[in-house]
Amino acid sequence: MTTTLFDLTGKVALITGASKGMGKAMAEGLAEHGAKVVISSRKLDQCEAVATEINEKYGDGSAVAIACNIGYKEQLQQLVDTTHEKLGPIDILVANAGVNPFYGPMSEIPDSAFDKILSSNIKANHWLCQMVAPDMIAKGSGSIMITSSVGAFSASDTLGTYNISKLADIALVRNLALEMGPQGVRVNAICPGLIKTDFAKALWDNPEAAKRANESIPLRRLGEAEDFKGIAVFLASKASAYVTGQAMTVCGGSNMWA
């Protein structure tokens, strides 16, 4: 059986935080289904390595590498401008990059860390969406994904500010979905559970986490970066043509009531 339901041929996808982990997996999934992907993160050499890997697997021109620190508006604009120069208008945005420089109670977080978390995890996504929206509105179609977290649905004595930023991302998604829906642009949040990535290593790389996964997560395992290929392709493609403004958990069932 053949289907075009997940076909992304001719689409241009921009993915931040794409040099490793979930971002890399989502970029690979989009490229596998025909999209031209921009691999972006702070370190150009890491981006180039991923782009080379994708080009070798899916054909020359499938991926390009563009370095960007999301904390700087001018670098985000340069990222979008360079994407236009290299690949053309943007059809798909995966705002996956984020930071968490502090573990501990909010009563102890330094102002610098608080500001960095909110700026990088919320404001940068807002900026990037503003920058790519005109491309999508001009075409009357497009898909934006923002990586949130299941942490958005609960309190934490170690990740409080991070969780606040991720709940704000869901609010951002909902408002953008409302604003841009009439122009044919869909906006959704992806909410990972506990995933075995470098970013979350402090949370999963211990015997307690493994025991908790084996006992309390319905699928009885921690998530893997590869688990995000499918959700990215689904949300980018016409398979999700009537899905917008949603916070979609990818958590093995651990947050099925969120």
Catalytic residues: 162
Q: Residue 96 in contact with residue 17, Cβ under 8 Å?
A: yes
Nearest to 38 by CA among 72, 75, 73, 88: 88
Spatial distance between the Cα atoms of 149 and 232, rounded to a whole number of angstroms: 15
Residue 129, both tokens = 């969406």
Residue 52, both tokens = 């080379």
Tell me how long the chain is.
258
Spatial distance between the Cα atoms of 103 and 108, rounded to a whole number of angstroms: 9
Spatial distance between the Cα atoms of 242 and 76, rounded to a whole number of angstroms: 29
Spatial distance between the Cα atoms of 70 and 123, rounded to a whole number of angstroms: 9
In whole angstroms, what separates CA 39 from the centre of its chain?
Answer: 12
Phi, psi at 65, each rounded to 5°: -110, 130
Helices (H), 42-184: 44-58, 73-86, 111-118, 124-139, 160-180
DSSP state of 152: G
How many angstroms separate the Cα of 199 from the Cα of each of 117, 138, 225?
Answer: 14, 36, 11
Q: Residue 38 in contact with residue 116, Cβ under 8 Å?
A: no
